[in-house]
Chain A
Amino acid sequence: MAAPVRPRKLSGLNETGPAPVQFMQTEATLAQADVSDLDLVTRCQAGDTEAFDQLVTRYRIRVFGMIYNMVHSEQDAWDLAQDSFLKAWKSIKRFRGRSSFYTWIYRIVMNVTIDWLRKKQVKGGGSEFDDSIQLKHIEPASKTVPKSEALPHEMIERREIRARIDKAIAQLSPEQRAVILMKEIEEMEYHEIAEALGCSIGTVMSRLFYARKKLQNLLRDVYENI
């Protein structure tokens, strides 16, 4: 089971400090923690796959989590995360360090995922949800509360809530999904979201407005009763 990885501040390439501490404690060795994203990117640009491997190790959980919350399928999220990292490797030489590596890779992730969702909508095949998963691997808040065995009725309730949330998110456009997840889960700033999505800050705020309105309507009874 993976540890929670949600550092508040994203590591910027222009920053001299190490990558997010929380992340490093869970996903990288202490030796790796001393290496900044920028150093690793520079090595990647020289063709060092080992350095890229370290970057993948740093960000794979967050990338996977983000994609999973957008597509609601573990297998698809895995494939899309693979595609995103592969694309990042192929275009790493074009990375100029004007933004953080995390924002840069998020842009790739968003492009790959939103394209996939759009194609899926056009094809219209398959259900939006992967019911086979049944959220068996998802243990909300398992790392932030004292570990205790959930009672069966609590587990059922959790699954129902999760299913309601997934269903509600599925009713948002891919762009709205991306914005609400980046804001509420990743706690990214408006400008970081705008950069990742390649749009203006105003567009981000507008999408956030409509995404929240829709989710409020769909989930009010859920969060009012918690």
Chain B
Amino acid sequence: MKTFEEKWTAWLDGQLSGRELAEFEASLPDRAAAEAEKADVRKLGALLKRELGISAFANEEFFSHQLRERIRESSVPSAKWEAKASTWWTIPRLLWTGTASLAVFLIFTVFVIRDKNPAEKSQYLTQILNARVDPVVSPNATVSMFEVKQDRVTVLWTEGLQSLPADYAAK
């Protein structure tokens, strides 16, 4: 459904035909005024065309020359970019290298920490803690351990132990 503005414009420009034209012209309250308006618009169009229709464009060849230069210049950055892209250090490679380096660092750190902690405990202590007290020889024997890591102090508390087996001796 066309608005009045659209129909009016189409009528002024002679774009209405047939039934549409007849209906529109029949709907006009003042046909004579509408025709005068149409003539008015034509005069306006003629004035615009006469006054604005021609614009002098000096230095046409220089215009084209300048444009050619700009086109040439605009292609230079992309060439530079292509040159950069042709080097080994592409962005994906940089990312992969960075990720791999971080992973190696993390693995190394974990191993160092893991190796460092056991070294803080003596082998003897480990032996005692891992030992099972023979219930036949020492039925009431208990072994307890207290450790304060920041002070590097470990207390081994044994109760009811008659003797330590020979292979439990500290090495």
Contacts and interface: CB of A to CB of B under 8 A. Distances in A.
Are A and B genuine complex partners?
Answer: yes
Counting contact residues on chain A (CB < 8 A from B), the size range is 35 or more
Given A56-B67, A86-B67, A86-B74, A202 B53 contact: no
Interface string B62-74: 0110111011001
A190 B43 CA distance: 20
Interface string A166-193: 0000000000000011011100001000
Counting contact residues on chain B (CB < 8 A from A), the size range is 35 or more
Contacts of A209: 5-6, 8-9
Contacts of A94: none
Contact of B9 (A1, A143, A181, A206): A206
A181 B63 contact: no
A206 B47 contact: no
Given A184-B48, A210-B5, A65 B55 contact: yes
A35 interface: no
A202 B3 contact: yes
B70 A185 contact: no
Interface in B1-39: 2-3, 5-6, 8-10, 12-13, 15
In terms of DSSP, what is the predominant structure of the interface of chain A?
helix
A219 B47 contact: yes
A53 B68 CA distance: 8
A216 interface: yes
Interface string A142-163: 1110000000000000100110
A21 interface: no
Given A56-B64, A89-B71, A223-B44, A139 B5 contact: no
A142 B54 contact: yes
A69 interface: yes
Nearest to A82: B67
- In the A-B complex, the 7 residue pairs with the closest CB atoms: A65-B55, A209-B5, A137-B56, A205-B9, A205-B6, A223-B47, A223-B43
B82 interface: no
7 contacts: A2-B55, A2-B58, A52-B71, A53-B64, A86-B70, A185-B52, A216-B44
